[in-house]
Amino acid sequence: MQLKSKITGTGSYLPSKIITNDDLAEMVNTTDDWIMERTGIKERRVAGQDEANSDMCVEAAKKAVSAAGLKPEDLDMIIVATMSGDMPMPSTAAIVQHKFGAINAAAFDINAACSGFLYGLSVADKFIRTGASKKLLLIGAEVNSKFIDWKDRGTCVLFGDGAGAVVLEPADDGRGILSTELFTDGSMWDYICLPGGGSANPPSEETLREGLHHIKMRGNETFKVAVRTLEKLVINTLEKNNIEPSELAMLIPHQANLRIISATAKRLNLPMSRVAVNIEKYGNTSSASIPIALDEVVRAGRLRDNDYVLLEAFGGGLTWASALIKW
């Protein structure tokens, strides 16, 4: 039987600080009803002032590696999916490797915004299938709060911080990742972006004054593209694998907007009881949202051996991606 990559451990971490919609109503012109109606978000977690991306990564990693029955030194590779790393160089993954004590692991970052975890999962799957890696740690982590304009109602209500992690190992029993699909359309790069701080707009007094170091988003346009794209993506992914939507035990979508999640579930004719939803508690944690939701589903005992699980995401780039797993 063909070798596959299998998730053998999951973990997640959420900062302790909570910002509610009522808290935001004291900062910007908004209300709890306005936010809930448009997004489904009630509250979000925010990292502490001295809490870096790598710190959250390590906490999620501890739980995932423990769940897999491994130790940090057993890992041979670490991939961190993030758009809010500790610094431009070195990679956040390298810092995690040191902090976590994974002395035998190669480490690097991937940035595909909210699709980052699934892009990372696709890369990790290839490393495992080819035998180049045997014990791989994949983390999705974001500290979006440190790149938010807290006076911009269009973005500050959406995002939260957190980290989720999985361990992947080889499997030859037919279970594991069945397929991954990755897509990009860079012509819409400015729909969701953080324009300042790179070589195009290096840090300066002007970029700070213009707020280019904050996340910018064209919300309405992004929403329309996301709904249309994700509906097509999930159907095509299942068709490629000859899986009927009714065979899905669980849909684990990126937690961007409850209306998008509900539309995707409706397209698959899936009851919401078979859809992982935690956006009300955490908001949009970008590349961390799917692994956090997956960890919650696993620890709640909602998945059984041989269940079909579909993961899907849409984010900046624009990027979108899916993964079908036989658990």
pLDDT tens-digit series, residues 177-220: 999 999 999 999 999 999 998 999 999 999 999 988 998 988 88
Same domain? For 241 and 97 the reply is no
Q: Which of 121, 152, 172 is the last residue of a domain?
A: 172
CA 228 vs. chain centroid, Å, equals: 20
Do the Cβ atoms of 120 and 288 come closer than 8 Å? no
Q: Establish whether 114 is a catalytic residue.
A: yes
Query: Are 183 and 320 contained in the same domain?
Result: yes
Active site annotation includes 53: no
Q: Based on the domain organization, do 252 and 151 belong to the same domain?
A: no
In whole angstroms, give the CA distance from residue 196 to residue 166.
Answer: 31
CA–CA distance, 313 with 295 (Å, rounded to integer):
16
Q: Which residues contact 24 (CB under 8 A, 6 or more apart)?
A: 30, 35, 156, 157
The pLDDT assigned to 1 comes to 63
Is there a single domain that holds both residue 18 and residue 154?
A: yes
Active-site residue identified among 57, 111, 214, 254: 254
Are residues 209 and 223 part of one domain? Answer: yes
Are 100 and 217 found together in one domain? no
Q: Which residues contact 35 (CB under 8 A, 6 or more apart)?
A: 21, 24, 41, 42, 157
CATH of residue 183's domain is 3.40.47.10
**Same domain assignment for residues 200 and 250:** yes
Taking the C-alpha atoms of residue 212 and residue 204, their distance in angstroms, rounded to an integer, is 10
Give me the pLDDT at residue 60, please.
98
Q: Are residues 130 and 147 in the same domain?
A: yes
Given the residues 111, 144, 257, 284, select the one marked as catalytic. 284
| Cis ω before 318 (30° cut-off from 0) | yes
pLDDT at position 154 is 87
Task: Name the nearest CA neighbour of 84 among 117, 107, 103, 111.
Answer: 111
Residues 63 and 90 in one domain: yes
Measured CA to CA in angstroms, residue 76 lies from 12, 63, 107, 127, 181 at distances of 20, 17, 9, 11, 25
Q: Are residues 115 and 216 in the same domain?
A: no
Low-confidence ranges of the chain (pLDDT < 70): 1
Same domain, 265 and 157: no
How many domains in the chain? 2
Find the catalytic residue in 21, 53, 57, 114.
Answer: 114
Do both 219 and 243 map to the same domain? Answer: yes
Question: Any catalytic annotation for residue 254?
Answer: yes
Q: Which of 110, 144, 172 is the last residue of a domain?
A: 172
Last residue of a domain, one of 116, 146, 172: 172
Structure tokens at 258: 């409850």
Task: Name the residue range of residue 156's domain.
Answer: 4-172
